[in-house]
Amino acid sequence: MKILVCVKQVPDPEVDLELTPDGRVTPKRDSYVMNRLDEYAMEEAMRLAESMDGVQVEAVTVGPEEAEASLRRALAMGAVHGIFIPVDEDRALTSFETASLIASAVKDKNYDLIMCGVMSEDEMAGAVGPMIAGILDLPWVTSAISLEKPADKNAVAVLREGEGGVQETVELTLPALATIQSGTRQPRYPSLSNMMRANKQELEVVGPSGQSPSRPVDQILGAAPPKQKGQGVFLEGSTAEKARQLVSILKERALL
C-alpha cells in the first residue's frame, strides 16, 4: 500500500506578518513552519503504516525553496520519500493551481491513499484536497479523525467529524483521498537522528520553477488585515465605585 501525504509550508503563527497588495504574506524568511493539520495527516499515515506490513508513506509539497524544510520534517516524521514541486517565491498560488501541480506530479505514481490536512492555517480554504480528488477522479472524504484498513477489503474505514461534532464512520474504496482533522492522536515529534537523516535525504524534484496549470479558475484580488476593534475600558476601585463608573459611561453614550 502506498500513501502520499500533502504538506504545506505556512507562516509561523507566532510571528507578525505583513500583507502585499496581491494577497501574499511576507514574514521573515526563516519564519515558516509545517502546517499543523498536515502534521496530523502525517501522524495518521504513520499509524496506518505501523499497523500493517508493506505500507510506504511518501510526502509532497509545492512552494519556493524554503518550503523544502516542511517536506524534510515530513521525512523526519517517517515518510520514506519526498517530492518537491518548486515555484517562484513571488507567486501566490491559488488552491486550484496547487491542486493541479500536485495532481500532475503524482497521477502516474499509483498511490492507494492520498492524505492532506483538512485546511492550511494561513488560507483556511480547505479546497486543495478535494480539488486533487476531483482532478484525479478519486472518491474522497473530509474531516477525518482516524483511519483503519481492514485486512480483507480494498478500502479504509474512516472516522470523521460532521456537523455539530457528530462522528460518523465511512468506508472509502481505494484508491481515495482523505483530509485529516485534528483529533486525539497528537503528531509525533521527530527524533534528532531522524531529523539528521531527513536533512541529508535526496528529494525528487518535479517540474521547473514557476510552472503553472493552463486553466486557473480563481484569482486572489487582494487582502487586508483585520479591522481593529475598539479598545476596552478597565474599571478600577471597589464594587460600588465600578458600578458608578459603569453607569456614568452608559449615560455618556446614551445607553442608559
The DSSP result for 180-249, as a single string, is E---SSPPPPPPHHHHHHHHHSPPEE-S-TT---S----------PPPPPPPP----S-HHHHHHHHHHH
Residue scoring higher pLDDT (118 or 184): 118
Highest mean pLDDT among 58-62, 140-144, 194-198, 221-225: 58-62
Q: Which of 45-49, 63-67, 123-127 ranks highest by mean pLDDT?
A: 45-49
Q: Output the pLDDT for position 21.
A: 66
Residue 24 has a pLDDT of: 64
- Residue 236 is assigned to a structural domain of this protein: no
CATH (domain of 62): 3.40.50.620
Write out the residue range of the structural domain in which residue 87 sits: 2-205
Residue range 177-181: mean pLDDT, rounded: 93
Distance CA 139, CA 101 (A): 19
Supply the pTM of this predicted model.
Answer: 0.78
Q: Report the interhelical angle of 128-136 vs 95-106 (nearest 10°).
A: 40
| Long-range own/partner contacts, residues 123-129 (CB < 8 A, 24 or more apart) | 123/95, 125/95, 126/179, 127/95, 127/96, 127/99, 128/6, 128/95, 128/98, 128/99, 128/102, 129/6, 129/99, 129/177, 129/178, 129/179
> What's the pLDDT score for residue 210?
44
Q: Residue 105 domain-assigned?
A: yes
- Is 198 a residue whose pLDDT tops 80? yes
Comparing 35 with 15, the larger pLDDT belongs to 35
Q: Is the pLDDT of residue 176 over 60?
A: yes
Q: Is the pLDDT of residue 33 over 70?
A: yes
Q: Tell me which residue of 136, 205, 217, 218 sits closest to 174, measured CA to CA.
A: 136
Whether 248 is in a domain gets the answer no
Is 16 contained in some domain? yes
Nearest residue to 102 (alpha-carbon basis) of 130, 143, 126, 72: 130
Residue 59 contacts residue 81 (beta carbons within 8 Å): yes
Write down the pLDDT at residue 213.
53
What percent of the chain stands above pLDDT 90? 41
Over residues 51-60, the pLDDT tens digits come to: 888 899 999 9
Higher pLDDT, 113 or 12: 113
Examine residue 239 and state whether it is found in any structural domain, yes or no.
no
Residue 191 counted as domain residue = yes
Reported as type and span, the H/E element at residue 130 is helix 128-136
Mean pLDDT of the chain: 85
Task: Compute the distance between CA of residue 166 and CA of residue 242 in angstroms, rounded to an integer.
Answer: 44
Q: Read off the pLDDT band of 150 (50, 70, 90).
A: confident
Q: How far apart are CA 95 and CA 69, in angstroms?
A: 21
Grid coordinates standing for 93? 498560488
Please, which residues have CB within 8 angstroms of residue 221's CB and are 6 or more apart in sequence? 23
What does the DSSP assignment read for 23-89?
S-B---TT-EEE-HHHHHHHHHHHHHHHHSSS-EEEEEEEESGGGHHHHHHHHHHT-SEEEEEE--T
Q: What is the pLDDT of residue 209?
A: 44
103 domain-assigned: yes
pLDDT band at residue 254, thresholds of 50, 70 and 90?
confident
Number of domains in the chain: 1
Residue 146 lies in a domain: yes
